[in-house]
Amino acid sequence: MTRLHSSLSLAAGVALVALAAGGLQSTANAASSSATAALQSADPKVSGTVVFTQEGSGVHVVADVAGAKPGLHGFHLHENGVCTAPDYKSAGGHWNPGHAPHACMPVDPRHAGDLGNITVGSEGTGHLDVVLTGVSVAGANSVIGKAVVLHGGEDDCKSQPSGNAGDRVACGVVKASTMEH
């Protein structure tokens, strides 16, 4: 009986460990299916949030900015997840794992980080809602660890290598979300 009891206890223990590991894996997958960036600026009036959500083979990007000057502003993912004020040059160049020319959506090919322009209205707020292809939230070509940069001017969508969008006015590092959705 003792041998049978020990075998059953061992089997139950292995099953519990397997269930716990499966639960941890699903939590990790849920957490890695989205990411966020909080935009910060040397100008305390400028702020924003960017949410990245894996949707099939694309990444849905929803951005909201506040306190920016009205007009079109270049909006890009940059290669380094470092945002050092006041100029945010620490973010490096546009994220371009495919070595494509600079362009704006929907033109292909283009840098993976080319989000085009975000329109900021007279009240200082802007909203962008796009889907990126060829990138992911986690895995190959992940947006995690990159920086989102709001530029001071309009991206002309043709100047190489970065669209002549002017100074970098806000920056945020893309981090894996820790909440399940």
Q: Which residues are catalytic?
A: 76, 78, 94, 102, 111, 114, 151, 168
Task: For residue 155, give the nearest of 119, 104, 94 by alpha carbon.
Answer: 104
Task: For residue 137, give the nearest of 21, 50, 48, 65 by alpha carbon.
Answer: 50
**DSSP 8-state symbol, 155:** -
Task: For residue 128, give the nearest of 51, 180, 57, 70 by alpha carbon.
Answer: 51
Containing H/E element for 74?
strand 71-78
In the beta sheet, which residues pair with residue 177? none
